[in-house]
Structure 1
Amino acid sequence: MTRPRKDVKFQHAARSAPNGRARRLSQSISELSENDGQPASPTKNGAPPVAPPEQPPASDYDKKKANFITRTIWSLVMIMGFFWVLGAGHMYIIIIVTAVQVISFKEVIAIANVPSKARSLRFTKSLNWYFLGTAMYFLYGESIIYYFKHILLVDRILLPLATHHRFISFMLYIIGFIFFVFSLQKGHYKFQFTQFAWTHMALFLIVGQAHFVINNIFEGFIWLILPVSMVITNDIFAYLCGITFGRTPLIQISPKKTWEGFLGAWFFTILWGIGLTHFLAQYKYFICPVNDLGANIYTGLECRPNPVFIARNYSLPMIPAGLPISRTLNIMPVQFHVFILATFASLVAPFGGFFASGLKRTFKIKDFGDSIPGHGGMTDRMDCQFIMGSIAFFYYSSFIAVYHTTVGGVIESAVTGLTPEEQMEVVKILAKNLVNQDIISPKILEYLSAQLHRR
């Protein structure tokens, strides 16, 4: 075999060893062959590797199909989870609403947090979460005190927190306000005040409206289920009717919305509301205000039903006499309210979505986040729900709620408006009334009288 000439160098041995001598050919090849996945590494027979064929990019149809499957799966998961939590009790639903509220607030605030990081502003994120906690403390406290004052006002530890709740909440806010002023940095004043306003807008639109949803839960599950399901039904049928009959654009900010889709969704939302209300009104678990946070679908709730859930006979004057048609209609008054709520769900609630669409267009983002696979962010799904929850609360408070004396109201008046001696006198009178009805023993009345004379 012919030997190579001494002055010929192989390209693999171009690098010099630490001692200055050229590396051997075998060493260079082994080093280059360590990573077979590298395109430049030779194969065993010295031939260059064959690159794997490139996968063709997914078509728009494939992307939409995959997104539709993911969206459907997660929709079913959320629906089944909602029904499970609904049966578990009011406390679990409140926890879910609180989690939705916090996630939505985080998504909205995150839009404005990016510029603050670029400016290296301190405490901006911490202040956002502090104001969220303060707002939640105030609003949740207001609800708990209103619905459970008969428990809070007779507890030695909780009584000061209940009676001074608003002052405590105000002082917590003032502390955050002062801390914000101290955090102002020269050259960033305009930006920081914009952030301050952005945070308060998020608190108003998300936390404030979620507070009314919580109140709807306390007033009865039906006032949560009905608005939520109406918005979902309206959204589904607006899409179906829009792609089937849609021709006339509804609003410029959402060019896919049509008048045909709007009217069709309104009609089917009314039908859904009437049918759902007829079903839910048969069970006190859904129509009774909450008086026990430990109740669930198995234990149930007991209450005197609101008169709107008791069917009445209504005359139909437009039907002439002599026709084989009944001139009376037996229906629950709540069904008339369902018509109004369905109109709100079709006409007003979508503007929450329009507002969110305008906000996303302003910041040039597709979704608020990716909290729910296939759906985008939590805010993308709750933009209409929050405003509909607020509408349902104010409508219920104005036209449906029955205001009467409650145990909590009597106790509040007695604790805050009477002296201890007057409270003892009230207890004695109530005890005497119970003795006369043979409900309690006369010895209890004698003991109370003795205690009153000692004071």
Structure 2
Amino acid sequence: HPTVFPLLTTRLLNTGFVFFVGSLQKGHYRFQFTQFAWTHMALYLIVVQAHFIMNNIFEGMIWFFLPVSLVITNDIFAYVCGITFGRTQLIEISPKKTVEGFLGAWICTIILGFGLTNLLMRSKYFICPVNDLGANIFTGLECEPNPVFIPHTYSLPTMPLPNLTPSSDSPTSTSSWSSSFPTSLTISPMQFHILAMSTFASLIAPFGGFFASGLKRTFNIKDFGDSIPGHGGMTDRMDCQFIMGFFAFMYFQSFIAVYKASVGGVIEMAITGLSAEEQAEVVRGLAKHLVNQGVVGGRVTEWLGENLVLGRGAAAAGAVGGG
């Protein structure tokens, strides 16, 4: 049950904490607290961040695939721009990182982010929330797209500029010129959101990698693993993805998610959380609203009012007779 699970998790955490404190032994404090720190760091970087990344997948594959692609793109172009024209060292803990590569990768990530977003938005498989775990790109998913994927037309300010055609009033003079620019722009709001996500993937997410580099140097290890020759392990390749996944989740929930109450959920809440009198009041209120909207006739409110009153009277009479 969703209300029991957090309580159970908290109790298990508190139990583990009590056992840890009770197991502390003199002469082993440094080792024990080091293991304690490693455990919680691993939980934060793997379990907690993976939880947010999984939530992104359930909201639509684009919210997983796009942040991951932005980080990979930024990593690639930071390397390319760095070896091409990098001169100034960015941060001491990672000597090969340069300011030029850092900024060049930012620009490239924004440009490619626009193109990738435009491509992914065309597929319902990427933009539809995951309601069926057996669905795939060939099953023909259908859903109502999030408003950020629907193109909008925005008005642009007019900017009168000189025209190359000489004025008829003064053919021999360089008269005032005029030129027309587009007065509107049709674009999906998602293209604006990708600016924020690309900027985060370029300017903030790399510091997750710098943090991992500092952590490895603290414990005098070169890499977290050796499954990828020359590149360490999978964790070494995913160090920037953890912070990006968390940001993508928070950004989606804050600025993009659309919260809609389902009919079944509202009815269940009314049945389980309201008394009979309160439920009757809800029915009367909805009836008045529908009458004002022209959906139903005015007789509905009269009929409901009479029958609800009679219902209360009959219930009261039954209670008296039973007594």
TM-score when normalising by structure 2: 0.75
Q: Provide the residue aligned with 2:51 in structure 1.
A: 211
| DSSP-derived class of the 2:96 partner | strand
Report the 3-state secondary structure (helix = DSSP H, G, I; strand = E; otherwise coil) of the residue aligned with 1:290: coil
2:67–2:197 contact (8 Å) kept in structure 1: yes
1:352 matches 2:192: no
User: Kindly tell me: are residues 191 and 411 of structure 1, through their superposed partners in 2, closer, same or farther at Cα, counting changes over 3 Å?
Assistant: farther
Superposed CA offset, 1:373-424 (max 9, x none): 44211210111001011111111111111222135753663576357x89x9
1:230-268 deviation line (CA, Å, top 9, x unaligned): 001101111111111111111111111111111211111
Q: Map Cα deviations across residues 287-335 of structure 1 (whole Å, 9 max, x no partner).
A: 1111222211111432211111111112222643653542321110110
1:172 paired with 2:172, answer: no
SS in structure 2 opposite 1:295?
coil
1:366 to 203, 222, 241: 222
1:190-339 mapped onto 2 (5 Å cutoff): 190-317=30-157, 319-320=159-160, 322-323=178-179, 325-339=181-195
2:260 aligns to what? 404
Verify the 8 A CA contact 1:290 1:301 in the aligned structure 2. Answer: no
For residues 352 and 411 of structure 1, the distance between their equivalents in structure 2, rounded to whole angstroms, comes to 45
| CA separation of 1:389 and 1:360: change in aligned 2, threshold 3 A | same
Give 1:224 shift: 0.6
Report which of the two structures shows the higher radius of gyration computed on alpha carbons: 1
- Matches of 1:250 and 1:407, distance apart in 2: 54
Most deviating of 284-293 and 370-379: 370-379
Alignment identity in percent? 70
Cα distance in 2, alignment partners of residues 189 and 335 from structure 1: 52
Q: Which ranges of 4 or more aligned residues in structure 1 deviate by more than 6 Å?
A: none
| Secondary structure of 2:2's aligned partner | helix
Deviation at 1:190, TM superposition (A): 4.2
**Residues 316 and 327 of structure 1 are in contact (CA less than 8 Å); yes or no, is this contact kept in structure 2?**
yes
Q: 1:389 aligns with which of 213, 221, 245?
A: 245
What is the 5 A alignment of 1:13-28?
none
Contiguous gaps of at least 5 residues in structure 1: 1-160, 430-452
**Matched residues in 2 for 1:415 and 1:164: separation?**
21
1:170–1:407 distance in 2 versus 1, CA, 3 Å: farther
**Does the 8 Å contact 1:281/1:287 carry over to 2?**
yes
Distance in 1 separating the partners of 2:37 and 2:245: 24
> How far apart, in 2, do the equivalents of 1:352 and 1:278 lie?
28
Tell me how far apart the structure 1 counterparts of residues 55 and 159 of structure 2 sit (CA, whole Å). Answer: 41
Q: Report what 1:139 is aligned to.
A: none
Following TM superposition, by how much is the alpha carbon of 1:196 offset from its aligned partner in structure 2, in angstroms? 1.7
Question: How far apart, CA to CA, are the structure 1 residues paired with 2:250 and 2:22?
Answer: 39
CA contact (8 A) 2:160 2:180 kept: no
Aligned to 2:319: none
Q: 1:415, 1:396 → 2: CA distance? A: 32
SS at match of 2:224: coil
CA distance in 2, matches of 1:332, 1:379: 35
Partner of 1:443: none
For structure 2, the 5+ residue unaligned runs are 162-177, 285-314, 316-323
Aligned residues: 271
> Matched residues in 2 for 1:327 and 1:195: separation?
62
CA change 1:364–1:186 in 2 (3 A) is closer
Q: Name the CA distance, whole Å, in 1 between partners of 2:3 and 2:264.
A: 13
Distance change (3 Å), C-alpha of 1:408 and 1:258: farther
Does 2:198 correspond to 1:342?
yes
| Distance in 2 (alpha carbons) for counterparts of 1:255 and 1:396 | 34
Cα distance in structure 2, aligned partners of 1:412 and 1:291: 21
Which residue is equivalent to 1:93? none
CA contact (8 A) 2:205 2:241 kept: yes
Q: CA RMSD in A?
A: 2.9
